[in-house]
Amino acid sequence: MYLELSHLLWTFVILLGVLYWWHAYGIKQLALQQTKAYCQKMDIQMLDESIALGRIAVKRDTEGRVNFVREFRFEFASTGDERYQGLTTMHGRRCLHIALDAHKI
C-alpha cells in the first residue's frame, strides 16, 4: 500500500512539473511573438531571434489575481553596428511592457 502511494505521489509531482514546463514554454513563445512584433514596429532588428528568461516573481495583477511575472531579455540592433539589450515583461499571458536600452537611431 505504501509503495503504491509513493509511486502515485511521484507520478503526480512529475506530471505537475511537465504541465508547468509546457505552460511556461507557451508563455515564452508568446513573449517572443510580442517582442518580434514590437521590434518590427520600432524599426529595429531583433538579434538571434531569441529571448532568455532573466527573472521570475509572483505578483498580483490589477484584478487581484496572483500570477507569475517573467522578464525575458533579448538583444537588438538599430543601425547594425552595436548590440543593445531589451526587456520584455510578461504577467501571466499578458505583455506588460517592452523596454529598450538607449540606442542610436
- Residue 52 in any domain: the answer is yes
Please check the confidence at residue 62 and state whether its pLDDT lies above 90: no
- Residue 39 in any domain: the answer is yes
Task: Give residue 64's pLDDT.
Answer: 85
- Residue 105 in any domain: the answer is no
- Residue 33 in any domain: the answer is yes
Count of domains for the chain: 1
- Residue 13 in any domain: the answer is yes
| CATH number of 63's domain | 3.10.450
Phi (first) and psi of residue 26, to 5 degrees: -60, -40
- Residue 89 in any domain: the answer is yes
- Residue 34 in any domain: the answer is yes
Task: Give residue 75's pLDDT.
Answer: 95
The whole model's pTM is what? 0.83
Please check the confidence at residue 83 and state whether its pLDDT lies above 70: yes
What residue numbers bound the domain in which 6 lies? 2-100
